[in-house]
Amino acid sequence: MNRLLWNKLQNSLLLRVGGMIAAITILAVVGMSTSWMVAETTQGNGEAINVAGSLRMQSWRMASFYQRLLQTDKPEYRETLQQAIERFEQDLEAGSILSVLPEDDTTPLKQVYRQVEIDWQQRIKPALVLQSSTAQNAVVLDEIPLFVKHINDLVKQIEEATEAKIFVLRVILGVAIIGTILAVILSIYLVNSILVIPLKALLGLTDQIRQGNLAVRTELAGDDEIGQLAQAFNLMAEDLSKLYQDLEARVEQKTAELTRSNRSLDLLYRSITRLHGIAPDNAVFHHVLTDAEAVLGLGNGTICLKGENDTHGQVVATTALNNRSPLCQRANSCGECHDSQAVRMDTLADGRQILRMPLTDAEKRYGMLAIDVPANTTAERWQVQLLEALSRHIGVTIASEQRSEQHRRVSLLEERAVIARELHDSLAQSLAYMKIQVSRLRNALKHPEEGEEITAALEELRDGLSSSYQQLRELLSTFRLRMEDDDLGMALAQTTTEFTERGHLPIELTVNLGNLNLGPNEEIHLLQIVREALSNILKHAHASHAWVTLQSQTDGRVQLWVDDDGVGIQKIAAMHHYGMAIMAERARALHGTLEYLPRAEGGTRVQLEFTIRTSHAA
């Protein structure tokens, strides 16, 4: 049982601290209770000493009363003496004196008290009461000093007993104080050694952990609360160390991923800039491969392209030394590169691998991007994804360039067709007309008598040549026309300024197309119609003012008005003017209607109205 309690005491800090507090409390309680008990025993000792001391005075007083009674026997003296005797007996048997008497009859205090009591009862009191003779009287007076001496011994014994109790009280208090001080000192020492010092050590280690040193461990051991706290601290430090290492690893991983992502985005940005800045050629593809090789950290790269009618592809760029791409080590051509429509990994005889990426867009396949993966190396997922994105950009770029080339070809063919049509509708007809006149002239020259016919034929040839020359100038002006900055409003403003300066004719321009954008073909036709209308106004209308208005309607219709305050539509319509036919042809190309209307204020309005077939709204 005692061993079990000792083990509990050793393994419990609370029990040890509680034991120290209990020891201090017990010492304090024992000291105070003992002191209280001693104080209780000394209570009344002072009164007993006073009462006992008064017995000496009363003895001498009774002797004085007795001697005076012997000299003069008066009743009042006898009564006074009797009162003194009664009081002496009361004080001798007073409770304060009896309370200080011990129970043991062998004690000096008890024996002295018994001697005083015997002397009083057997010798002093009877002598004072009887008063038989003078000789006896002399004996009583002689015994009084001895009796007082016994009373003095009684007082002294009471004083010594009281001092002994006070000494015992002092000893008890001293022992209690010393024991309490020792217990407090021991408690302070024990608390400092088993509680304060370990806690300070743990706080120091906690501060080191706060500063980032997660390798610290405490050497405190035991089964008590401090030992358990130390074990919990070590476990916590170990968990924090593992967590911190895990966080560091995750931070490094995320940092590497972010760095890789930034490099990948930078590669894609620079590649897109190179591929879409200008028409990509072999040098551009080579730069793209060089950048990809630096970012990916794999082997050499190769771009192989194959035309629609080619049976074999062609390597257009490679980063391999001496242009010896491993892509072509398995075949004499790039034909096999175009067999697969998906990402593919081929293994060479030396253990290296070739990662092949098709260069495609949404419509067709243009070639292959191949990357040499060294032996004992595996292409990671991010590398494959980056190569896929790069191959898509290359494919889109090639497709865009091919479409642009196709558009340029179509535009060139359309422009040639327009030139052919313009030449056919103007110069070809005029030359055919002049050919007929030359035939007339040749027939007329066979008959010199027909001079008027020759003159008429020559006159018509001159008019035809003039008309052909005018048509040629108009065609040259049309073919040289350019749209500066792709802005129809600016082109119209330049045109009106040109005709204003040419004919000193004020022309007001109003353009209000809203958010509607016209196509290039529509803009060219509109601009040519405006130029032809203004040219007719300068040549034939004799106008003093002109207005050009271009506006759009909510339903997609476009209206063009060219107004003047000249001589009117009848005179212009009666004149032969080839430009009006060209204007009508352009209106039909726009799928619109062209009308010549008289103005209410005088003059003519050329009105064009058409609907945009393809939406160009911004």
Query: What is the tens place of the pLDDT at every residue in 586-597?
Result: 888 888 999 999
CA nearest 544: which of 507, 513, 574? 507
- Residue 5 pLDDT greater than 60, yes or no: no
The reported pLDDT for the residue numbered 478 is 60
Helix then strand then coil, % of the chain, to nearest 5: 70, 10, 20
Can you spell out the DSSP letters for 49-90? HHHHHHHHHHHHHHHHHHHHHHHS--HHHHHHHHHHHHHHHH
Structural contact between residues 354 and 326, judged by C-beta atoms closer than 8 angstroms? yes
In this structure, the number of other CB atoms found within 10 A of the CB of residue 449 comes to 8
* DSSP-based three-state secondary structure for 344: strand
Cα–Cα dist 318/283, whole Å: 10
d(CA 168, CA 171) in angstroms, rounded, equals: 5
For residue 12, give every residue at least 6 positions away whose Cβ sits within 8 Å of its Cβ, in sequence order, or none: 224, 225
| H or E element at residue 149 | helix 134-191
Over pLDDT 90: what percentage of the chain?
A: 5
User: For residue 362, what is the DSSP state?
Assistant: S
Is 51:164 a contact under the CB 8 Å cutoff? Answer: no
Coil/strand/helix, residue 551: strand
**Max CA pair span of the chain:** 233
Nearest to 454 by CA among 446, 444, 463: 444
pLDDT at 545: 93
Which positions ≥6 away from 569 have C-beta within 8 Å? 596, 597, 598, 604
Which amino acid belongs to residue 303?
I
Number of H helices, E strands in the chain: 18, 10
Residues paired with 581 in a beta bridge: none
Q: Does 135 score more than 60 pLDDT?
A: no
pLDDT in tens, 124-133: 888 777 654 4
The residue to which tokens 């016209």 are assigned: 518
Q: How confident is the model at residue 433 (pLDDT cuts 50, 70, 90)?
A: low
Using one digit for the tens of pLDDT, what is the confidence trace for 26-48? 877 877 777 777 666 666 667 77
Query: How much is the pTM?
Result: 0.45
The type of residue at 134 is: T
Q: How far apart are CA 300 and CA 318, in angstroms?
A: 7
Out of 105-119, 268-282, 472-486, 552-566, least confident range: 472-486
pLDDT the model gives residue 423: 64
Q: What is the pLDDT of residue 237?
A: 82
> Which pLDDT score, from 0 to 100, does residue 564 have?
93
What is the Rg, in whole angstroms, of the alpha carbon atoms belonging to the chain?
70
Rounded mean pLDDT of 411-431? 65
* 515: number of Cβ within 10 Å: 8
Residue whose token pair is 């011990």: 102
* Tens-digit pLDDT profile for residues 490-509: 888 888 998 898 888 899 99
